[in-house]
């Protein structure tokens, strides 16, 4: 596996969140109500990022305390953070799709 810097690990999570929020925005523009206010999806991503970092950090610390290897903890921090961000993004997107289907 190729080495990834700590900065890249930290910056990839918001980039992934912004991609998910833009998909949500396009769904709302195309299928949502007429009075849609754009921009709040970015605020939700910015507000959830600290919680995702904390959850990913806790997962990394648990793996580090079990394996006693710093590389494993860093790897599981990255994996956990991306899994938590993906779960948030999918809930945002599929919740939007479900709301537009039922209208």
pLDDT in tens, 63-73: 888 877 767 77
What is the token pair recorded at 77?
Answer: 């921090």
* Mean pLDDT of all residues belonging to the chain: 83
pLDDT at 26: 84
Average pLDDT of 66-82? 81
In which residue are the tokens 């006693």 written?
68
* 13-40 pLDDT tens trace: 889 988 988 888 888 888 776 666 777 8
pLDDT at 51: 92
pLDDT tops 60 at residue 42 = yes
What's the mean pLDDT in 45-69? 87
Calculate helix-pair angle for 70-102, 40-67, nearest 10 degrees. Answer: 150
pLDDT for 103 equals 58
Q: How many residues does the chain have?
A: 103
DSSP 39: T
pLDDT for 54: 92
């Amino acid at each position: 596996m190729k080495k990834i810097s700590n900065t890249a690990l930290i910056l990839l999570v918001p980039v992934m969140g912004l991609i998910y929020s833009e998909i949500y925005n396009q769904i709302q523009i195309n299928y949502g109500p007429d009075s849609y206010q754009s921009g709040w999806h970015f605020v939700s991503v910015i507000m959830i990022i600290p919680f995702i970092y904390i959850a990913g950090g806790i997962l990394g610390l648990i793996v580090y305390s079990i394996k006693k290897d710093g590389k494993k903890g860093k790897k599981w921090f990255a994996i956990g953070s991306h899994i938590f961000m993906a779960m948030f993004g999918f809930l945002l997107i599929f919740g939007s799709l479900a709301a537009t289907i039922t209208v």
